[in-house]
């Protein structure tokens, strides 16, 4: 079983009851997880995959998608960050004295809006290191939580990495370690995470996908995600 396949299945397990899932740019693993959730729902779950030209997933990620989220019609979305801190603030902008930053990333894209409007935002970052998971982000592209008087139906639900799964408590503004992936340890997670989080000494191991799920991932999902992520499909499953 490949690491990507574990991550795809783990994320899909969080999407079971979502009726409409949106997938942003540069997100092959969340995209695959969304496809898996759709397959499990017998095609009932709607997907909007930015960059896909295939009906029924196509969306140009334009005005319609943001309006849709504003109407409360997007149930789940994915975000990431060059930096993510313990209060789930995300930094997609850069590091240093803004605006002349030493490290400059692409930009906030739709995050400063979608993080507020989509009820279940799953943060996903494969690379799990102190460089990424900082005590406090240098620049808040999108805040993890908001004061009670700010209209905010959406926000972070979980953070999935190549090491583990965290769940986010919006009231406590704090992550809780839910499970550590097979082959990794609590120590590794604590070593590589720069923010404080809740955990118990006996952390469960992330469950591995069953054979049926793996077959689905390696079959239909792999073929479908090849548009719009051909390089990813080639790398993971050698699909041309």
Partner 1 sequence: MTNSIILEDTDILASQIPDGAKIAIFKDCGVPMELGRALIRRKARNLHIVTVPTGGILIDLLIGAGCVKTIETAGISLGEFGPAPRFVDAIKQAKVQILDATCPAIYAGLQAGEKGIPFMPLRGLIGSDILANRPDIKTIDNPYAEDKDPVVVLPAITPDIAIFHVSIADREGNLYIARQSELKIMAHAARQTFVTAEQIVDYNILENEELAAASISSLYVSGVAEALRGAWPLNLPGHYEIDSGELEKYSRCATEDKTFQTYVRTRITDGYADATAA
Q: Is 95 in the site for partner 1 (CB under 8 A)?
A: no
Q: Is 31 in the site for partner 1 (CB under 8 A)?
A: no
Closest C-alpha among 148, 130, 120 to residue 195: 130
Nearer CB in complex with partner 1: 33/114: 114
Q: Is 1 in the site for partner 1 (CB under 8 A)?
A: no
Q: Is 106 in the site for partner 1 (CB under 8 A)?
A: yes
> Using an 8 Å Cβ cutoff, are 205 and 181 in contact?
yes
On the CB side of 112, CA atoms within 13 Å amount to 9
Shortest CB 115 distance to partner 1, Å: 7
Selected from 78, 116, 133, 195, the binder of partner 1 by CB under 8 A is 116
Q: What token pair was written down for 122?
A: 């799953």
Give me the DSSP letters along 148-212.
TTS-----EEEEEESSEEEEEETTTTEEEEEEE-TT--HHHHHHH--S--B--SSPPBPPPP-HH
Q: What token pair was written down for 137?
A: 């982000």
Nearer CB in complex with partner 1: 63/240: 63
Selected from 45, 83, 93, 224, the binder of partner 1 by CB under 8 A is 93
Q: Is 135 in the site for partner 1 (CB under 8 A)?
A: no
Q: Is 25 in the site for partner 1 (CB under 8 A)?
A: yes
Q: What token pair was written down for 200?
A: 């118990």
Chain position carrying tokens 């009851």: 17
Selected from 143, 155, 156, 209, the binder of partner 1 by CB under 8 A is 143
Nearer CB in complex with partner 1: 150/202: 150
Shortest CB 40 distance to partner 1, Å: 28
Shortest CB 169 distance to partner 1, Å: 18
> Using an 8 Å Cβ cutoff, are 52 and 58 in contact?
yes
Pairing of strands 174-180, 164-169: antiparallel
Binding site for partner 1 (CB under 8 A): 25-26, 53, 60-64, 66, 70, 92-94, 98-102, 104-117, 139-143, 146-147, 149-151, 229, 231
């Amino acid at each position: 079983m490949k690491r990507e396949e574990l991550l795809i299945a783990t994320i899909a397990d969080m999407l079971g009851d979502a009726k409409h899932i949106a997938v942003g740019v540069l997100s092959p693993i969340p995209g695959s997880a969304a496809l898996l959730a759709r397959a499990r729902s017998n095609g009932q779950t709607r997907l909007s995959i930015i960059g896909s030209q295939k009906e029924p997933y196509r969306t140009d990620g334009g005005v319609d998608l943001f309006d849709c989220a504003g109407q409360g019609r997007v149930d789940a979305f994915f975000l990431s960050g060059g930096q993510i801190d313990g209060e789930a603030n995300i930094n997609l902008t850069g590091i240093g004295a803004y605006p002349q930053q030493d490290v400059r990333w692409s930009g906030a894209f739709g995050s400063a809006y979608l993080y507020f409007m989509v009820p279940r935002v799953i943060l996903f970052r494969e690379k799990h290191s102190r460089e990424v998971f900082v005590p406090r982000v240098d620049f808040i592209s999108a805040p993890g939580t908001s004061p009670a008087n700010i209209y905010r139906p959406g926000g972070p639900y979980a953070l999935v990495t190549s090491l583990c799964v965290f769940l986010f408590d919006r009231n406590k503004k704090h992550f809780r370690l839910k499970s550590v992936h097979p082959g990794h340890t609590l120590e590794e997670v604590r070593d590589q995470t720069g923010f404080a989080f809740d955990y118990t000494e006996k952390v469960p191991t992330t469950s591995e996908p069953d054979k049926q799920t793996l077959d689905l991932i390696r079959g239909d999902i792999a073929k479908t995600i090849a548009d719009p992520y051909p390089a990813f499909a080639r790398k993971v499953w050698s699909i041309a």
